[in-house]
Amino acid sequence: MELLGKNVVILGATGGIGRSLAFAFAAKGANLILTGRRKRILDALSKEIRKFSVSVDTFTLDVTKEKEWRPFIRKVESKFGHIDILINSFGVGIYKKLKDLEIEDFKKSIDVNLNSVFLSIKNFLPLLEKSHKAYVLSLGSGMGKIGVSGRSSYCASKFGLRGLMLSLAKEYKSTNINFCLLTLGSVLTAFGPLSLEEKIEKQKKGKGYLDPVSLAKAIASKIENETLEEEVSIYPSRYFKESKSGVV
């Protein structure tokens, strides 16, 4: 799939993976529609990306608020007409033991990591259907396949996301829309309870992390080469051993 001139939506572009994806697709000449909740960071990101001489449009959006979706979709449709690639790269990581986990924590995990992906796909579906060939990618997790102590709300949301994406992949198998779940291991970003600096220190002591820049380039290349499957799993070394020991 030629990425030059394709319309790419990255929801959660201000996060570590979303940011890297924006640069990876900009380098391929794609038109970018980027969202986040922090306008200042979005504006700074847009300014950096414009050095690639590509079209960049930014929108502040809270993916959990249904009322914000319709006006956002209308603006995208008015300018672009259709969408070729939709990437759900937003998420929240609440890691607590059950005794410390409140219902608000659990609801937030499901609302952001699962319900908002549904809202994204449902709202963008008409624009995806207008593309000659479209891709929908969502960032899953190894913790959507294996249960980890102290991560019950996060695991529940990612198990649900895996079910949603794999079901839609079957439902739309004979259409122009391709659904792909990216099941990822630990990534070297500030996502979750640890800061980026703390993760770097753990990496120095042997903890395995995926590099977000290399990850983003690999994802763009898979779309370009049309080698995506319903689920693509990418893990750092020792991920499953660390998962079983509870240190992911």
Q: Which residues are catalytic?
A: 154
User: DSSP letters along 198-241, please?
Assistant: HHHHHHHTT---B-HHHHHHHHHHHHHTT---SEEEE--TTHHH
DSSP β-bridge partners for residue 32: 8, 56
- Rounded to the nearest 10 degrees, the angle between the axes of helix 212-224 and helix 16-27 is 50
Residues in the chain: 248
Which one, of 17, 169, 4, lies nearest residue 84 by Cα? 4
| Residue 4 to residue 215: CA distance in whole angstroms | 20
Q: What type of residue is 97?
A: K
**Residue where the block lists tokens 């449709």:** 77
**Residue where the block lists tokens 């122009």:** 176
Counting Cα atoms < 13 Å in the Cβ hemisphere of 218 gives: 13
1-4-13-197 Cα dihedral, nearest 10 degrees: 90
| Burial of 38 (C-beta count, 10 Å sphere; 0-12/13-18/19+) | exposed
| Residue 240 to residue 242: CA distance in whole angstroms | 5
